[in-house]
Amino acid sequence: MVDPEGFRERTQAMSPPTKNFGSVLRELRRAGGYSLRGFAATVGVSPAYVSVIEQGKVCPPAVGHVLRMAYVLREDPDRLIALSGRMPEDVAEIIRKQPEAIHALLRAVKGLRAEELGRIAAGIEKRRKTDKRGPIARVRRKAPGARSARGVAPTVLERRP
């Protein structure tokens, strides 16, 4: 079977992070002044579980536990979730709703530095706030049989009130 446009190459699993979740968790816990037992009690898990996570003997915890750990450690939850190799549910939902567009967007920004990505995100947020017409609710076809001069069905952007 032919591999269309290198699809197999692009669908490989995420590469492992340079530092594993457990070692970063241990560094953050110690820097925050938490003992193993105190941290585990605050997060709501057993000290043995935190220990095996930090040693890398088990997979990183589920997103819910990672979020609690980030909150306790006053750490960016997105950073810890990414380090755990998991994905926040809101991000997963965005991808499920618009997979082609999101994949194209991610490929387009590949290689940009964090500062450049931050400027892009800030520009999008600024546009959302200043757009007096409001965010686009959905795109729909104008009429089932209607065609434009180019022979394609015209669309209407419906805006939220």
How far is 113 from 97, CA to CA, in rounded Å?
27
Does residue 147 carry a pLDDT above 90? Answer: no
Is pLDDT above 90 for 141?
no
The pLDDT score that the predictor gives to residue 156 is 46
Over residues 107-134, the mean pLDDT reads: 85
pLDDT in tens, 69-116: 999 999 999 999 999 999 888 888 999 999 999 999 999 999 999 999
Structure tokens that stand for 111 in this block: 């290689």
83 contact partners, CB below 8 Å, separation of at least 6: 17, 19, 20, 21, 24, 60
Encoding tokens for residue 50? 């935190």
pLDDT tens across 10-42, in order? 434 444 545 789 999 999 999 999 999 999 999
